[in-house]
Structure 1
Amino acid sequence: MYLDVVHLRAFYDLPLGQLLRGLIGAPVERMWPDIKGQSLLGIGYAGPFMRPYLGSADRLVAAMPAPQGAIHWPREKDNACALIEDGALPFHDATFDRIMLVHALDHCSDPSAMLREAWRVLAPGGRLIAVVPNRRGLWARSELSPFGYGRPYSGRQLKELLKNCQFNVTDDSEALFMPPSRSIGIQRAARTWEALGHRFWPAFAGILIMEAEKVVFRSLPADGKKSRLGVLRPVFIPDGAATGLKPVRRTQSDIR
């Protein structure tokens, strides 16, 4: 379920929102220090994290899902925002070199459909960055930021989701080790929290940031009996355990 775009913009205008923009934006900029001459698509509400590329990218488009709503972006320039359906992007195949998903995979109803569309409009070898709340972190349990209202992920879950949608994970990072709080004292010590968290408790970061590359070709089994694009098996089901149920799925003969 999406948050209203007016509320998202209001949050990033607050002191806490501006702080989070810097803390999350730092690892994003380390992954993508320069995209000069390239095109960048932001899906969800990625505008605050796309701003560093306003002067260098060849083209920027902020695609905001219809249930969330859309606003003029960026404020100081001609509008580069598009209202979209997250499962049917209004762009031609292989249009963009980079895609950034923020407040997207954690709020949409079908993350796989969104990633398949992102794969379609991404150029061969193009890169994608996904920013999602960490299931182990405190920010997924707090309503002080938009990251507490969506679907959190573990690192394993996000990697499997990207892999199943034909993306190869190339880099990952974490952010937001400070506890969720409006306290001025805690916010002033945010950089110290980040340094300590990266060193001593990286698994408990508030945010996961993962970069992946579009995979155009992949090998398939020669016998055709088993597809590598299988569904995710949850870790709470031990290997070899019998569930007593047989799933019903569509086959090629059903489609014909």
Structure 2
Amino acid sequence: MQNLQPAWTPGSWTDVVDLRDFYDGSLGQSTRRLLRRHLRQLWPDTHDLRILGLGFATPLLRPFLNEAERVIAVMPANQGVLHWPPEGPGLTVLADESDLPLPDSSMDRIVLMHALESTEQVRAMMREVWRVLADGGRLVIIAPNRRGIWARLERTPFGNGRPYTGGQLARMLRDNMFTPVSLSGALFLPPTTSRVMLRSAPAFEQVGRRWFQTFAGVNIVEATKQIYAATPSRASKRRAYVIAPQGF
């Protein structure tokens, strides 16, 4: 019988190649479509905006490439980096999640995926996100739901690291100078590779969002920056980052 006991390891990053392979598979492609739909509902128009993905957010960023002013993906050093998008100039950067190589208030939209549950530096990372997010900007965090089955199975990247309840995400955001504005769930279908089940995923999402929010595979929270908060202090240190080489 499948072991459903959680194996939550704070600070455990999934290797970037494993993340890529998951999203190339049938379950990962379905996951990508569902999460893109949720994100697009939150951000229906990103014309002339600057968008940052932190962690492994590239599966969600492609729809914005021809719409936003700028799209950048920062991949943490402990996870690794891949060239993206594969058909054009690289838009990925390898960096420490607690020391982003970006100017203050330079991003209008930031999405964190496969980041919060993996880092050991939650406060430092969130203070950096606060620093680079523009006043009036929006942050979306996608994190495994502690009460959902996805966090209890290691067949997906959402079974790695530290999961969160919606309440825990809201408290973490307030503690780091953000104001949560919405909370929703996604991935109500169990993580299966059955083609029949995957074709039913949109129907599962509709039913789950209406009746079974508690059992979502991931929590999706949107937040704004508290601009009246004091600027977070940052230790001075030399930045080290690498742009992924062409043709990787």
TM-score (norm 1): 0.83
Q: What number of residue pairs does the alignment pair up?
A: 219
* Counterpart residue number, 1:179: 190
The answer to which structure, 1 or 2, has the higher relative contact order (CA under 8 A, 6+ apart) is: 2
**CA distance in 2 between partners of 1:124 and 1:68 (Å):** 29
1:211, 1:199 → 2: CA distance? 19
Q: Per-residue deviation at 1:218?
A: 4.5
1:16 and 2:48 equivalent?
no
**Mapped contact 2:57–2:113 kept (Cα < 8 A):** yes
Q: CA deviation at 1:185?
A: 2.2
Distance 2:15 2:229 in 1: 39
Structure 2 residue ranges without an equivalent (≥5): 1-11, 231-248
The offset of 1:32, in angstroms, is: 0.4
Match of 1:228 in 2: none
Query: Percent same amino acid among aligned pairs?
Result: 46
- The answer to whether 1:165 aligns with 2:165 is no
Residue 59 of structure 1 aligns with which residue? Answer: 70
TM-score by length of 2: 0.86
Find the aligned partners of 2:37 and 2:23 in 1 and give their Cα distance.
16
Structure 2 SS opposite 1:112: helix
Q: How does 1:89-108 map to 2 (within 5 A)?
A: 89-108=100-119
| Partner Cα distance (2:212, 2:204) in 1 | 10
1:129-144 matched pairs, under 5 angstroms:
129-144=140-155
Separation in 1, partners of 2:158, 2:61: 18
Show CA shifts across 1:17-37 (max 9, x none): 000001112111100011110
Deviations 1:121-155 (A, max 9, x none): 11111111000000010100011210001210000
Q: Is the 8 A contact 1:142 1:148 kept in 2?
A: yes
1:95 Cα deviation from its structure 2 partner: 1.1
Rounded to whole Å, the distance in 2 between the matches of 1:65 and 1:201 is 33
1:40 and 2:41 equivalent?
no
Amino acid in structure 1 at the alignment position of 2:77: A
